[in-house]
């Protein structure tokens, strides 16, 4: 005997649908996890209030040199654009923004008579890896420095890293940018870069660039984030040096600056899952999913317990009676069944009661009511009438004990 299933059909359906949705969610997260982490993860560096963020720098810039009211794209707006990539930012994303800014500057030179708009870009290299402190209310702790193998490729030039233990940094004597001020470093180890295409504006003692200009372009690199991050701007000297740096880079706009956020919210790496769930292949993927669902529904309805081949004439008394009834119906003889059934039952009941010969009157004396049943049987001309009379006769037999 088969054991009953411990789950109802509805429970099984819920489990199957829930499992399918969880599997689809896992697939989508594996492909779009980097986009999700950008949206719901850490805020852009310009908005973060921890020591490695630049929220204080942003507030200082907005308070002293507020940008003009413009809802346009900051990348395409004249004035300084500050890039704050992280250790996971792709170098190509940074280079694309810088190249676009250079193209805009070239177009302004060709189309504008007189002094064209400038599009300077300040690239602040990441320095520290941080992790959130559990139950710390948004506080973070340093987990180590960002390696130079990840920071140097962000610079669109051939450079090499350099570090020097020095308390302060200062502007180079031969720089053409006036008004630069030294930064007071919170840590004595200063990150700087060297390269043939890097012109130091603020440097360490050996001439490596803490703030450097790439060639003759309007692209500037700030190699040490501890000069302008939240931790650094707790020192008023660094706040003054940061404002002086912006005014020196873009004196035409008074050091007006905007912070870029596209690097934080940029698209992630390409993979097969994104290829399947983004246009133009999204329609094909949805069609295949719908086809699979419809195929599953059709399969569930089509298949069931195995169907066994039936015999032409089933065995057993009941099957024999059913066959006789079917043949009688086919022959159109059911209207003659009542009188013959009445004669057969008189003989059967008389034998059961040991009456010898008997008729309807005799059985009426044995137990009242038989004569009326006998009359109904003999008068029946339809199957329902004969069946009703036969049921009444069965009840009479039980009462009479026959």
189-235 pLDDT, tens digit each: 788 888 888 999 998 777 788 899 998 899 999 999 989 999 889 89
383-400 vs 337-352: helix crossing angle, rounded to 10: 10
Instruction: Give residue 371's domain range.
Output: 317-400
Radius of gyration over alpha carbons of the chain, in Å? 47
The list of the chain residues with pLDDT below 50 reads 1
Bridge partners (DSSP) of residue 141 are: 131
* 309 located within any domain: no
Q: What is the pLDDT of residue 357?
A: 74
Same domain, 283 and 377: no
C-alpha 105/C-alpha 122 separation (Å) is 15
Query: Nearest-CA neighbor of 127 among 235, 261, 228, 223?
Result: 223
- In a domain? residue 265: no
Let me know if 31 is exposed, middle or buried by CB neighbors in 10 A (0-12, 13-18, 19+).
Answer: buried
Same domain, 94 and 157: yes
Answer yes or no: do 48 and 29 share one domain.
no
- Residue 121 phi/psi, 5-degree rounding, is -125, 130
What is the pTM (predicted TM-score) of this model? 0.59
Domain count for the chain: 3
Token pair recorded at residue 180? 């630069």
- The three-state secondary structure class of 305 is coil
Same domain for 145 and 183 = yes
Q: Do 205 and 140 meet the contact criterion of CB atoms below 8 Å apart?
A: no
Which pLDDT tens digit goes with each residue over 141-190? 777 888 888 889 999 888 887 666 555 567 876 777 888 998 887 666 78
């Amino acid at each position: 005997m088969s054991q009953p299933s411990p789950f109802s059909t509805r429970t099984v359906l819920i489990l199957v649908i829930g499992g399918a949705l969880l599997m689809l969610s896992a697939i989508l997260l594996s492909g779009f996890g980097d986009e999700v982490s950008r949206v719901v993860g850490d805020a852009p560096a310009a908005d973060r209030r921890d020591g490695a963020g630049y929220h204080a720098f942003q507030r200082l810039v907005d308070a002293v040199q507020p940008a003009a009211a413009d809802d346009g794209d900051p990348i395409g707006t004249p004035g300084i654009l500050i890039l704050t990539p992280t250790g996971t930012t792709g170098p190509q994303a940074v280079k694309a923004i810088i190249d676009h800014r250079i193209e805009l500057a070239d177009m302004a030179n060709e189309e504008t008579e007189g002094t064209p708009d400038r599009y300077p870009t300040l690239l602040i290299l990441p320095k520290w890896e941080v992790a959130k402190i559990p139950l710390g209310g948004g506080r973070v702790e340093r987990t180590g420095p960002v390696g130079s193998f990840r920071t140097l490729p962000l610079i669109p030039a051939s450079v090499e890293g350099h570090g020097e233990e020095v308390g302060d940094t200062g502007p180079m004597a031969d720089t053409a940018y006036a008004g630069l001020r030294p930064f007071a470093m919170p840590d004595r180890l200063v990150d700087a870069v060297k390269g043939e295409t890097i012109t130091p504006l603020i440097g360490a003692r050996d001439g490596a660039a803490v703030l450097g200009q790439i060639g003759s372009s309007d692209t500037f690199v700030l190699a040490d984030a501890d000069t302008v991050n939240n931790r650094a701007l707790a020192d008023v000297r660094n706040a003054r040096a940061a404002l002086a740096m912006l005014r020196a880079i873009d004196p035409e706009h008074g050091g007006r600056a905007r912070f870029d956020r596209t690097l934080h919210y940029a698209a992630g790496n390409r993979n097969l899952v994104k290829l399947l769930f983004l246009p133009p292949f999204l329609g094909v993927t949805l069609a295949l999913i719908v086809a699979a669902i419809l195929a599953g529904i059709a399969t569930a309805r089509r298949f069931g317990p195995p169907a066994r081949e039936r015999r032409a004439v089933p065995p057993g008394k009941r099957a024999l009676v059913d066959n006789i009834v079917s043949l009688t119906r086919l022959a159109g003889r059911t209207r003659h069944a009542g009188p013959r059934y009445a004669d057969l039952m008189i003989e059967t009941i008389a034998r059961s009661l040991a009456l010898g010969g008997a008729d309807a009157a005799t059985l009426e004396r044995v137990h009242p009511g038989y004569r009326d049943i006998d009359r109904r049987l003999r008068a029946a001309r339809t199957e329902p009438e004969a069946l009703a009379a036969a049921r009444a006769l069965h009840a009479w037999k039980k009462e009479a004990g026959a």
